[in-house]
Structure 1
């Protein structure tokens, strides 16, 4: 099936699944549906063949399975996938967010800037109007007050007149457009500095927020909330992990716990913990920044909103695992933290002499160890593969296995030795488990192993054309054309020789050498061959 046709089929399937869910009162995004389609197709138990074109019966089966999973609100796996999709669609790095924020501000100022730089004012009224536009531009660019507030406009005008009186407009108009734009930015910085100084002296500063005080109050409150949520999530992770460890030692308990979806609940809380650990350092960094306060204020509000929207994806835990059930399951079980587990095996290190063909690394021998990309987000791959999906943190101190340019950590030395005997086997087992539990693809960062299996994916629409691309100038787009001279056929005339196969003339004159006493008598002799002889 051609790629364009396959994409059209997938789009129709996604649309049909969305309509089915809406009919049952569940509104789902196209991104979530696309992720679920991929998860269902990857699961080998569903019997879809990636190399075969989907038949009508296959499409109906796919739609039915996806709708069933999307409507199963008691499944932690669905909550985990929803959390992952929401985070991918809404989280950007600090640099990307501020870059986009500044780009939007520049686009909004574009029309005001052009009105100033393209102005050809001559009369007194036109010059006064131009000066007012410069004041408005300064206020809009600085963000310190509204250009419609009379008090703020008067204060900004007074500050501007102190460094750029109206009499200087004539010189300003003679500048090039680029120099005008540069001078406008310089004037904005100067006027902003004057107004901030006046505010500090108590002589002005109308409409300027006390951003240091706002951040001083907002950052600790937000950080404290995230710390609390992170602690709760980690406590749940440690308890679930302890119960699952108990199950691995007592196989009879696995049948009892099967309907409770304990593994899926563990994956759900681990994913929530990881997202909070991504967000938390940003708030800590914010506390040390006392410049660009406006950027930080916008950023903190976005991150706070993002954090609050992640909490609803944990709703199934209290429903599936009430306190009484958890207490019963935790009987005779020691709940260990990740730090405790790592400390238990700090002295158990891999002996390099036991491995001749494999490369092992240690934290103290690696520069920039914290930047090393550990597979499976640092969890022990061997334990996960051999205990039906138990997530235990790997301990880099034991040794880091470098295999095919990838790095693996393990929770015990025995696990490291066992994994090293046949890495491909355990990698394939983990890949197979991820196909059955789609939330593991992102939780364990397995995207590269699956990205080529499905020809169409709508993950991360933030940078696609389906996301809003309307700008302040997009309505002014027009067709552009240019004149070109197309190449044409041309020919030239040249001389060429022609010949035919005829006898070559051979005519001689004999008797030209006569003496003085005798008269010369020349005889013409024709030795040319006949035509029929050639």
Structure 2
């Protein structure tokens, strides 16, 4: 993508977002490509004015409200974008796992064991590395975090590659041979776990992808089939109304253009559903085949093992290797199914993208006219011949002679693989880009230049056969002016610049940027403002009284360098007074002490015990 287109895409995205519409860069880039296809030119040497005019026109096209043709382009791009994004995400996950396995593999095969200082420790570390490699390469990374799964996987590895064989593995063979053996080892370890799961003796956290895939595939096909049935019923209603209106209205009239664009949108929606159903059916068939092969390999291993205590590894290892490879293939199909499911979910947003112009009155009138025409013996579809445009090749009076001259051959039905997506080229050219499917019974096919072209009526086939090159050229011109038909008809090879898949891949890969600017003044205005200025006289009076009051206050503390970021408070108190009195005479009093003693405790038998009470008046002041 050149610089001019990149600038246009960024500017279109900006304009759409400023108008409240979040547009993807992929859609903006595709609209720019379609405008270039229709004659607009931009390049690296384009002027700024031409780029702005081009981007403004792109933004106007995207911002058109209720536009079926634009909704068709949005749907085609969104489906392809979802397919590319999710497929790229799945491939990235697989590639990351393979890169991690390759890094481990290189570290293992290029390690030199002979002559290592601590060979025993090195061999233990290498064996753990081999175990981690087998888990990553075989998609069993859960074994690195789950102890039970780790024990089972480690036992499977030990049975195939015992620890004592590690020295011989590193001492013989070039690195390429070791790499091949490691890949086979990982597949065999996975095969052992699959076999253990089949006999009910292992396979923890190792799910069989086939049953889940087939169940989800059936559900997805039922859902898509219901949507397709509803869409085909709506397309039948559009076909009836357009056939009725085409008898009196030219294809270029606004009402016919609106019906044509709405029908094309629903045809693109139905085509996307058919592609998803086809992919789902092919995936289910592939998974069923892989599941049958897996069951056959498990049965073969059971026959080899049986009740034997030992089995020749030359016979059983290839079977186990095949089990691992089949399981990895099933896991890959499972990831592809996830992509299909997400694309189908994205397609739901386009089930009703615009307000249809079909009304019950129109449908009733078309039904009545078709029934009346059928009773009168009109055309096979019950309608009169539609009015045609004057565009494209003129009608040929003798189509048979023209077919002989051009080398085209008219074939009556029985052809399934048709060019232009199976749509009538004559109707596309003569009816203003109307997409009419080829009819298998009323129509015909034309074989020309090794290709088959289908038509809705034999008259259309005869006119095309008379001058096929002119009709093909006119059809290409119609698709150039209506780019939503390119993807619908499968003509991407004829318009490589607007092929959706490469455009989506390029826009998703290229970083998007947008130039924005800010304005600053050339000369900054200097403002001299005194923040302390006060105009209010009463406020000044209050400030003066406050300052005068402060002059009578005493300072209780001060902040110094040492007290920085710290608070120091001091308080002042009055201490209590100390007072004393001196007298000439010192006086004191002492109370008498009373004592009681027991007497008569000693002596002869005639001495009796008695209590003696004493009052001792000792220490009186007069005694000193």
TM-score, reference length from structure 2: 0.62
Following TM superposition, by how much is the alpha carbon of 1:253 offset from its aligned partner in structure 2, in angstroms? 10
SS in 2 for 1:72: coil
Aligned to 1:84: 76
**Cα gap change, 1:144/1:57 in structure 2, threshold over 3 Å: closer, same or farther?**
closer
- Given candidates 359, 376, 382, the residue that maps to 2:407 is 359
Aligned to 1:375: 419
**Cα gap change, 1:411/1:53 in structure 2, threshold over 3 Å: closer, same or farther?**
farther
For residues 309-333 of structure 1, what are the alpha-carbon distances to aligned partners after superposition, in whole Å with 9 as ceiling and x for unaligned?
Answer: 022123334x234664664564426
**Cα gap change, 1:247/1:139 in structure 2, threshold over 3 Å: closer, same or farther?**
same
Question: Is residue 2:468 matched to residue 1:423?
Answer: yes
Distance (Å, rounded) in 2 between the aligned partners of 1:163 and 1:49: 66
Question: Is residue 2:436 matched to residue 1:392?
Answer: yes
Distance (Å, rounded) in 2 between the aligned partners of 1:182 and 1:76: 56
RMSD (CA atoms):
3.9
Aligned to 1:480: none
Following TM superposition, by how much is the alpha carbon of 1:354 offset from its aligned partner in structure 2, in angstroms? 7.3
For residues 40-59 of structure 1, what are the alpha-carbon distances to aligned partners after superposition, in whole Å with 9 as ceiling and x for unaligned?
Answer: 34447xxx479998555543
Q: Indicate if the aligned counterparts of 2:400 and 2:462 stay in contact, CA closer than 8 A.
A: no
Distance (Å, rounded) in 1 between the aligned partners of 2:204 and 2:133: 17
What is the correspondence of 1:359-508 to structure 2 with a 5 Å cutoff?
A: 359-360=407-408, 374-395=418-439, 399-403=444-448, 407-451=452-496, 459-462=502-505, 466=509
Question: Is residue 2:313 matched to residue 1:265?
Answer: no
SS in 1 for 2:64: coil
Following TM superposition, by how much is the alpha carbon of 1:227 offset from its aligned partner in structure 2, in angstroms? 0.9
Aligned to 1:23: 18
What is the correspondence of 1:149-168 to structure 2 with a 5 Å cutoff?
A: 149-168=146-165
Q: Indicate if the aligned counterparts of 2:424 and 2:435 stay in contact, CA closer than 8 A.
A: yes
Following TM superposition, by how much is the alpha carbon of 1:406 offset from its aligned partner in structure 2, in angstroms? 5.0
Structure 1 unmatched ranges of 5 or more: 336-342, 469-534
Q: Indicate if the aligned counterparts of 2:240 and 2:367 stay in contact, CA closer than 8 A.
A: no
Distance (Å, rounded) in 2 between the aligned partners of 1:465 and 1:283: 26
What is the correspondence of 1:34-433 to structure 2 with a 5 Å cutoff?
A: 34-43=29-38, 48=40, 57-91=49-83, 103-121=95-113, 122=116, 123-144=119-140, 146=142, 147-174=144-171, 175-251=173-249, 257=255, 261-288=258-285, 289-290=287-288, 291=290, 292-317=329-354, 319-321=355-357, 324=360, 327=363, 330-332=366-368, 355-360=403-408, 374-395=418-439, 399-403=444-448, 407-433=452-478
**Cα gap change, 1:176/1:326 in structure 2, threshold over 3 Å: closer, same or farther?**
farther
Aligned residues: 442
SS in 2 for 1:282: helix
Structure 2 unmatched ranges of 5 or more: 291-328, 372-379, 383-397, 512-624
For residues 89-145 of structure 1, what are the alpha-carbon distances to aligned partners after superposition, in whole Å with 9 as ceiling and x for unaligned?
Answer: 3447x9999987754442231222222222234422221221122112212222245
Larger relative contact order (C-alpha < 8 A, sep ≥ 6)? 1
Following TM superposition, by how much is the alpha carbon of 1:65 offset from its aligned partner in structure 2, in angstroms? 1.9
Q: Indicate if the aligned counterparts of 1:152 and 1:207 stay in contact, CA closer than 8 A.
A: yes
SS in 2 for 1:34: helix
Distance (Å, rounded) in 1 between the aligned partners of 2:127 and 2:185: 12
Q: Indicate if the aligned counterparts of 2:82 and 2:343 stay in contact, CA closer than 8 A.
A: yes
